[in-house]
Chain A
Amino acid sequence: MSPARILPCGPTALLVEVDRGGGQRATPADLAVALHERDGAGLLGDVVPAARTVLVTFAPGAGGVVRRLIGETLAGLDGDGAGAARAAGALVTIPVRYDGPDLAEVARRSGLTAAEVVSRHCAPTYVAEFIGFAPGFAYLGGLDPALRLPRLESPRTRVPAGAVGIAGDYTAVYPRPSPGGWLLLGTTTMTLFDLAEDPPTPLRAGARVRFEAIG
């Protein structure tokens, strides 16, 4: 595994750069799971995996101890830690009505028919790599290379809850209304973020996801 870097991030946080582009097996989500498992003393506040990094926050003065914890955890990941996040993930099947405003445009840009776009979007079992941007917005990795397109140049001011979109390497469902720049393929009526539930979303880092065309 390419050596990870631990970068400073102010008095009460560190940023661990896991993926140096070397294609190692352990992902930020794996590191996040492993850090929680090793943190018996409760030193860690937020542990935030993203595409290539994990942000870790802690109490003032605990930086040295946390650095050591991170180092030990990274060393442990070279063994069976890789894939820990994946192993922990439940399978979530999301029913989608593929009638999104950008479906035709995606077909055009990818050189596929709309039906082919739908079947290629439904084929993979995705893995939720991390949540960012907005509450419950899970970045699902494993998108078919043919569907990897840049996001809209001008984001929509309002994307409805349940909208299913793609952008770059990822696909995602907007769990709540928000502005959004992703290409919208369809919608789901499934509730993916509910503060009355604990956890509020089933799509945490490591969850496996499939989409199913309906209607």
Chain B
Amino acid sequence: MSLRIEHLGGRALCEDLGRPGHAHLGITGSGAADRASLRRANALVGNRPGAAGIEIVGTLEVRAEAGVMIALAGAQTRAATVLAAGERMSVPFPQRGLRTYLAVRGGLATARTLGSAATDTLSGLGPAPLRAGDVLAIGRDLGDLRTVGDGSGAGDGAGDGAGATDGAGDDTAGGTPLPGPLLMLSVHPGPRADWAEDLGVLFAGEYRVGEESDRVGTRLAGAPLARARAGDAGELPSEGLVRGSVQLPPSGLPVIFGADHPVTGGYPVIAVLTGAAADALAQARPGQAVRFRRTGAW
């Protein structure tokens, strides 16, 4: 069974929930940028939450080579649809949001690297980005058919322990809310919050998502944060960092690391997004207005 990519306008990547546990080897977790939406798309076709699907930025048309069940979640939601051999499905450019996840029942049978089919755009590990003409084999990684819903959020998705391991705080039934005119990002304290001279600046103003943002990081434009004086002439030896880290480079303009973040970094991390905020940010287009708000133990 397979799916052929007929047309692609933008970028399509094979993604699952990534390959955590190898950061000590310099390999980042990678996986879907908006994890809750991948989980939701999988639930809609009765897959387990981490089955491999397609992360789409732009437009895509697929053709079923044999009967398949497909659903969408994220920037667009479409309930499970069965395509007969030869039938096509188009995923148009979304009205809001950025990333749409296409899940096919059985998951994509793409070759695994360290147990995951995720494309890591930082290191190049995993499958190459998808192109028109690619024929994607579909697997038999089947989950509970009872989660197949009509797109309204009904279904027993919670029974599989979704959300237990990645702190996304995700709602498999609901997916990720798409950003409105202003996206609020909840942040916990980061390990180097004291490297910012006045953290209040981060919470006072509005920032905008920059054009140069990608799966590695989201660059923000807005009020720069000055650094406080810190020991060692302002040098911070590289240290481990996580998805959702808000890093303060010398420019003072924060960078928020995404799914393909480097495993170590030498600039201070002043705050860390919640899992849900990281998912929401993955739906933000360049130009999106964002503000930060405190959560957890500040």
Contacts and interface: CB of A to CB of B under 8 A. Distances in A.
B25 A9 contact: no
A57 to B, nearest CB: 7
A50 interface: yes
Question: Which of B192, B263, B269 has the most C-beta atoms of chain A within 10 angstroms of its own C-beta?
Answer: B263
A52 to B, nearest CB: 5
Measured as residues with beta carbon below 8 angstroms from the partner, the interface class of chain B is: 35 or more
A12 B240 contact: no
A60 interface: yes
A77 to B, nearest CB: 18
Nearest to B122: A134
B26 interface: yes
A191 to B, nearest CB: 15
Contact of A9 (B24, B114, B269, B274): B269
Interface stretch (A91-99, A105-113, A115-123, A196-204): A196-204
Contacts of A132: 26, 238, 240, 262-264
A147 interface: no
B188 A48 contact: no
A92 B189 CA distance: 40
A11 B25 contact: no
Nearest to A13: B242
A164 interface: no
A50 B167 contact: no
A60 B237 CA distance: 28
A8 B123 CA distance: 27
Interface residues of A, number: 40
A15 interface: yes
A114 interface: no
Interface in A182-215: 195, 199-201, 204-205
Interface of B: 20-27, 29, 113-114, 123, 125, 164-167, 169, 188-192, 231-232, 237-242, 244-245, 262-264, 269, 272-275, 296-297
Interface of A: 7-13, 15, 17, 21, 32, 45-55, 57, 59-60, 130-137, 176, 195, 199-201, 204-205
Given A8-B189, A47-B24, 19 more contacts: A8-B272, A11-B274, A13-B242, A15-B240, A45-B165, A46-B20, A46-B23, A50-B237, A50-B238, A51-B237, A51-B239, A60-B167, A132-B238, A133-B26, A133-B238, A135-B27, A136-B25, A199-B25, A204-B24
